């Protein structure tokens, strides 16, 4: 049985400027010990999805509007707040993007670690202290017993992220959510922290959801990847499948907008034109249509469901044999995805409905 089952999760924010359609029906599964990458550009709903899992959406604006989240047999959407609090930190832990601001500046490392341990376990301060030293040693902080009484500002960014990882692992959670854990760190430190995270979660058998906008980060870290766009999962596959055969125009676009060192001949970078849709509007049609080079007329009106590429394949939603699924009416062929653009003779992206046929550069105003 899956550790985590998310079905049709819908999250909206009610603000003064109207409703924000942040997450629009996301479904995925996670096995115990599995690592899953959640990839997409800023604002695509990857962080909101995970805050919703933890029920830490900013109040009062953020709401889970629909769907179910089942964790270890518990329904997280309807769980009482007190039970949810019991779960946080103990069963599901989180690591945040910016280690410079995620530790309380007025409390020592020891106070914050002991607090985490004692929040869920009845231990004496002394036992908690011993455990804290052990954890700091595990994440590679030299002489942990002398650093324990330091304040966060006496640590570097990489050290602080190590402390955050130690705190997150303190209670051996079943699931760890790491939200852009290395974005705020120096490039030289990023790899170390990722390796540490990978090793410790593997050793403890902790499932990991790694949120990132950096495909390079997930490539070496995760077994499976969900690519998100505008609050939808547009492609899901094992990491190997995704990089071998990217099949959604957005994923193709993402891969073509980063330079690769392992190509034998230099490839042209193909940027994705335009900007992500305004999420203050209810989604109509495929969210990626306005920026897509492969779009058909139907893309403007009908949002394709997430379905297996091989229609005859048996659907496996998690684990190493997960089925490669995409949400696309007109997926690029293998050659096209290698080239990064449509190669079909005479193909032009469908113009937005109601516009002149020659107008090939649709804008959001036209969409509205």
Using rule CB under 8 A, residue 341 touches other proteins: no
Q: Which backbone phi and psi does 245 adopt, to 5 degrees?
A: -140, 70
The tokens for 320 are 């190493």
Residue 55 or 324 having the CB closest to other proteins? 55
Burial class (CB in 10 A: 0-12, 13-18, 19+), 24: buried
Binding segment (CB under 8 A) for other proteins, from list 83-91, 129-137, 138-146, 242-250? 83-91
Q: Is 23 helix (H, G, I), strand (E, B) or coil?
A: strand
For the beta sheet containing 207-212, the strands, ordered from the edge strand earlier in sequence to the opposite edge, are: 92-95, 175-179, 207-212, 35-39, 224-229, 232-238, 325-326, 307-308
Give whichever of 204 and 309 is closer to other proteins, judged by the CB atom: 204
3 state SS of 134: helix
Distance CA 68, CA 300 (A): 29
CB of 2 to other proteins, least distance (A): 22
58 binds other proteins (CB under 8 A): yes
Please report whether residue 129 would count as binding other proteins according to CB under 8 A: no
Q: What is the DSSP letter of 153?
A: G
* Residues forming a β-bridge with 19: 14
Quote the tokens at residue 151: 């304040």
CB 353 within 8 A of CB 259: no
Site membership for other proteins, residue 146 (CB under 8 A): no
Note whether 88 binds other proteins by CB under 8 A. yes
Kindly report the backbone phi and psi dihedral angles of residue 290, in degrees, each rounded to the nearest multiple of 5, phi listed first: -60, -20
CB-nearer residue toward other proteins: 77 or 317: 77
Q: Is 281 in the site for other proteins (CB under 8 A)?
A: no
Q: Does 104 bind other proteins (CB under 8 A)?
A: yes
Cα dist from 69 to 30, 47, 54, 174, 348, whole Å? 11, 16, 10, 15, 41
Using CB under 8 A as the binding rule, whether residue 80 contacts other proteins is answered as no
CB 288 within 8 A of CB 329: no
Give me the least distance between CB of 268 and other proteins, in Å please.
39
- In the complex, the smallest distance separating the C-beta of residue 116 from other proteins, rounded to whole angstroms, is 5
Asked if 103 touches other proteins (CB under 8 A), the answer is yes
Q: Is 24 in the site for other proteins (CB under 8 A)?
A: no
Q: In the set 2, 52, 94, 242, which binds other proteins (CB under 8 A)?
A: 94
Task: Specify the residue, 121 or 260, whose C-beta has the smaller distance to other proteins.
Answer: 121
Assess 164 for contact with other proteins (CB under 8 A).
Answer: yes
Considering beta carbons, is residue 116 or 247 the nearer one to other proteins?
116
Q: Does 65 bind other proteins (CB under 8 A)?
A: no
Stretch near other proteins under the rule CB under 8 A, chosen from 150-158, 219-227, 295-303, 327-335: 150-158
The pair of structure tokens assigned to 185 is 């760190």
Task: Dig out the tokens for 281 from the structure.
Answer: 């509007």
């Amino acid at each position: 049985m899956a550790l985590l089952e998310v079905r049709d999760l819908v999250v909206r924010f009610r603000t003064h400027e109207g409703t924000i359609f942040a997450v629009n029906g996301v479904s995925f599964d996670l096995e115990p010990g599995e690592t899953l990458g959640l990839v997409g550009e800023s604002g695509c709903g990857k962080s909101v999805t995970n805050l919703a899992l933890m029920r830490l959406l900013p109040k009062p604006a953020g709401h889970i509007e629909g769907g179910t989240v089942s964790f270890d047999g518990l329904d997280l959407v309807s769980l009482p707040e007190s039970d949810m609090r019991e779960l946080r930190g103990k069963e599901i832990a989180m690591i945040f993007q910016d280690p410079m601001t995620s530790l309380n500046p007025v409390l020592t490392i020891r106070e914050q670690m002991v607090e985490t341990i004692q929040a869920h376990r009845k231990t004496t301060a002394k036992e908690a202290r011993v455990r804290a030293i052990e954890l700091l040693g595990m994440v590679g902080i030299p002489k942990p017993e002398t650093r324990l009484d330091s304040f966060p500002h006496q640590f570097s960014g990489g050290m602080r992220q190590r402390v955050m990882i130690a705190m997150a692992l303190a209670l051996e959670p079943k699931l760890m959510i790491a939200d852009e854990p290395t974005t705020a760190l120096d490039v030289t430190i990023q790899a170390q922290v990722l390796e540490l995270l990978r090793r410790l979660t593997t050793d403890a058998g902790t499932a990991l959801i790694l949120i990132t906008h950096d495909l390079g980060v997930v490539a070496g870290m995760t077994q499976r990847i969900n690519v998100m766009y505008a609050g939808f999962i547009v492609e899901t596959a094992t990491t190997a499948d995704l990089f071998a055969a990217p099949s959604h125009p957005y994923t193709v676009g993402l891969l073509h907008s980063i330079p690769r060192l392992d190509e034998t001949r230099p490839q042209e970078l193909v940027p994705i034109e335009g900007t992500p849709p305004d999420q203050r509007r209810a989604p109509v049609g495929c969210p990626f249509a306005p920026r897509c080079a492969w779009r058909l007329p139907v893309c403007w009106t009908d949002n394709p469901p997430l379905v297996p590429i091989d229609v005859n394949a048996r659907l496996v939603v998690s684990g190493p044999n997960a089925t490669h699924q995409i949400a696309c009416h007109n997926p690029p062929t293998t050659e096209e995805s290698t080239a990064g653009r449509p190669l079909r003779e005479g193909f032009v992206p469908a113009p937005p409905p109601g516009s002149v046929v020659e107008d090939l550069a649709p804008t959001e105003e036209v969409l509205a």
